[in-house]
Amino acid sequence: MGSIEEIEPGDVVLMRSRTALSAAVRLLDGAEVDFAALALEDGMVGEVVGVGPRRFPLAKAVAAHEDTIILRAVRPVDPTPVLHAAKGYIDAAAPFVQQQLVLVALLTLTRPLPPAPSRRRLVRAVLDHTTATLHSVVAHGRQLMLCPEFVAHCHREAGETYRLHADPARRRATGSTLLDWALAQPALSAAGSVPVAAEPTDPATAHREAATTLAPLISHYLIESGLTTGSVGVSTAAAGEGMVTDEDLLRSMVSFGTALAPATGRQEEGGDASRAALGMIHTLAADPHFVTPGDIHRNSALREVTRIQGPTERSRRSP
């Protein structure tokens, strides 16, 4: 295992977090990591979180995660343009926020999900909570930027030499997805939408509360479906009661797709509103500028430099 002394400004910092939400990202993305950031000068890291773009002490970031993987450009380049782009987002207090729940929602719809009794309840709950957080993002004048997108944007703005070209074949689903199923439904136009709070809380609070509420259900599904055989750090409480009908699931998917457009600054397609909402989900997931932490880790323009193990659970609890 390496140390933070090996990290240089401009390195890509990938992290493995300890939450159920993060475990879902990794398992659905087929990746070891669930968060991405950029190493800056003076022992800081540049990242986008629930409160927006910020500088954060690298040592604290590493200590807060299970593992950290450091990537560097395969071809030696001057990192100054990438750092300049990152500082531009941070210093300008750009109105972007990271919402990991959105990534979970997109992955549940665009990647094949193993069957399990709690699968529909999980997807509906994730979508409804994500829709509420997206409304909060828009209501507070912010715009969505996932953490790996921040890394990719900084490289793209630095110029063609630095661009992290996506490989769509790596993300192509190898089986039927819930989005495929939804688009094939003949009664889609009658799906409607789910209600949201009239006065949404701030995006960071909304996301934190949603993640806490969803953690037991996510953990339950991951174990029940066989995606993981052990604990993901939260209680495996019962997944809740009640049947989720096709109409329920379609309604939640349409509401999520409808909320994506203003939160990402995209123009929703015309025509049937429900199909346009699902089309928004498809368009975003297929966009080469949309990247996951796993996409960053697997990018051929980057090579792994070192891995740093975070403190164990026992050492974190020790006085």
- The answer to which of 3-17, 120-134, 253-267 has the lowest mean pLDDT is 253-267
Q: What is the pLDDT of residue 106?
A: 96
Q: Is 127 helix (H, G, I), strand (E, B) or coil?
A: helix
What distance in Å separates the CA atoms of residue 152 and residue 130, rounded to the nearest whole number? 23
pLDDT digits (tens, 9 = 90+) for 163-221: 987 665 555 555 689 999 999 988 665 555 666 655 668 899 999 999 999 999 999 99
Express each pLDDT in 137-154 by its tens digit. 999 999 999 999 999 999
Distance CA 7, CA 44 (A): 10
Average pLDDT over residues 112-127: 94
What is the rounded distance in angstroms from the CA atom of residue 83 to the CA atom of residue 172? 31
Q: How many other β-carbons are positioned within 10 Å of the β-carbon of residue 161?
A: 12
Predicted confidence (pLDDT) at residue 32 exceeds the cutoff of 90? yes
Percent share of the chain, pLDDT over 90: 71
DSSP string, 188-207: GGG-------SS---HHHHH
Nearest to 215 by CA among 76, 138, 122: 122
For residue 174 the two structure tokens come to 């190898």
**Residue 201: closest CA among 193, 192, 210:** 210
Q: What is the pLDDT of residue 234?
A: 41
pTM of the model: 0.89
